[in-house]
Structure 1
Amino acid sequence: MLQLRNAGLDYGNTHISFPDLTLEPGQRLGLFGPSGLGKSSLAKVLAGIEPLSQGELTLPGFAQGSANPVQWVIQQSEFAFNPRLSIRQSLRESWRNDDFMGVLDRYGVDPLWLNRRPLQVSGGQLQRVNLVRAIIPSTEYLICDEITAHLDMITQQQIWLALGEEAGQRRLGLLVISHDEELLNLVCDDVLNWTG
């Protein structure tokens, strides 16, 4: 279970009060709210990247040296990759050897892209790779932060169908952060409306 209670974060003179939330294995929870509220800061906290200033965060346990079971997939995939590494090298940072080969097709990743660098594929192609990198076998919860906001409708549909199938098979908990309320209603079990 991933849970946040009475939580807040201080950035200099700015304080962000987070909504209480609970994400269970296999649940698809949407988070809707206006820009500038702190949704990406919330994602960083849930992924264990940013420490809370107050409140309680319950995260799944994991052994030292193993990957975090909570993975955060950001909107701008170009910032998630080292431009000097090939896509294959980037995937190998998360996956053991080439175990990722078995999931490429599900996310529409062409094996021919693997020897390219991030700047040599489109934004939609790179976001597909970003998802493959995040869904390693130890992942239990996936924080999807506006992951399809800049993609065409066909690519969005393909990604959400693939993620839905993955989540169903593995009982992955998905927190879907989006400004698109219609999308959240389509892909999520419940939607939390964060008004600030």
Structure 2
Amino acid sequence: MLKLCNATIKNQQRIITFPDLCLNVGEIVGLSGPSGCGKSTLAMALAGMQSLHSGSIARPKVATHNSANKNRPNSVQWVCQQPEFAFNPLWTLHKSMTESHPIDEAQLARYQIDPSWLKRYPKELSGGELQRLNLVRALAPDTRYLLCDEITAQLDTLTQQDIWQALCAEVDRGQLGLLVISHDEYLLDAICDRVIKFGTSAEVPMIATEPVSNPSWRAVLN
């Protein structure tokens, strides 16, 4: 279980109050809210990339009983909107993809990745192609929770559909929990089991959790 409780973060002189959040493997939870309210900051905190000012985060633990395990990827992975910033421009994609774990050939096929792309550099691929590789890299063997931060907002409709079909299949197999951060209410309503609406007024955080009107996302995407 990935759990955020009574959490705040200090951003310069501003204190951001986060909604309580609980995400299980096999579940898709949506997070929506106005730009600048702290959605990406929340995701970075969940992934251990940002320290809390107060409150707590419970994450699944990965065994570190030997030196090799100390270099294993985090079980909570944050994937951002701009995949071009996720890869070293001076490395081939093969080098980037194998930095922490071997390439899973089955994953390449599931995300419709041409193996020849791995010989190229990031600037030689489109945004959609890079995002597919970015997702496969994030789906390391130990990954249990994927934080998808507007990951398809800049992609064409067919690429969006391909990516969400593949991710929902991962969840359906009971191997992954997804936090989907998006402004796209249709997407959230289509694939999420529930949606957290997060935003701030001048004084009081406005936080609400709502069940979706149609949780049958498998039927919607297929």
Q: Normalization by structure 2: what TM-score?
A: 0.85
CA distance in 2, matches of 1:48, 1:26: 21
Query: 2-side partners of 1:182 and 1:87: how far apart?
Result: 33
May I ask how many residue pairs the two structures share in their alignment? 194
Match of 1:186 among 185, 190, 193: 190
Render the CA deviation track for 1:135-180: whole Å, top value 9, x for unaligned. 1111000000000000011000000000011122243110000010
Rounded to whole Å, the distance in 2 between the matches of 1:171 and 1:63 is 18
| Percent identity (aligned) | 52
Q: Does 2:121 align with 1:114?
A: no
What secondary structure does 1:29 align onto? strand
Mapped to 1, the partners of 2:115 and 2:164 lie a distance apart of: 21
1:18 aligns with 2:18: yes
Confirm or deny: 8 A CA contact 1:6 1:20 kept in the other structure.
Answer: yes
Instruction: Flag the structure with larger Rg.
Output: 2
The corresponding residue for 1:77 is 83
In the alignment, which residue of structure 2 is the partner of 1:94?
100
After superposing on structure 2, the runs of 4+ consecutive aligned residues of structure 1 that deviate more than 4 Å are none
Distance 1:105 1:94 in 2: 20
Contact 2:4 2:21 in 1 (8 A): yes
Name which of structure 1's ranges 147-156 and 57-66 shifts more when overlaid on structure 2: 57-66
Q: RCO higher in 1 or 2 (8 Å CA, sep ≥ 6)?
A: 1
Q: Secondary structure at the match of 1:42?
A: helix
Is the aligned partner of 1:136 residue 2:136?
Answer: no
Q: TM-score of the superposition, structure 1-length normalised?
A: 0.96
Shift, 1:191, TM fit: 0.7
**Conservation of the 8 A alpha-carbon contact between 2:25 and 2:171:** no
SS of equivalent to 1:194: strand
Deviations 1:66-103 (A, max 9, x none): 2210011110101111101111111101322xx32221
More divergent stretch after superposition (113-122 vs 62-71)? 62-71
SS of equivalent residue, structure 2 residue 128? helix
Kindly report which structure 2 residues correspond to 1:21-60, keeping only aligned pairs within 5 A, or say none. 21-60=21-60
Residue by residue over 1:111-130, the C-alpha shift from the partner in whole angstroms, topping out at 9 and shown as x without a partner, is: 11010011110011000000
Match of 2:170? 166
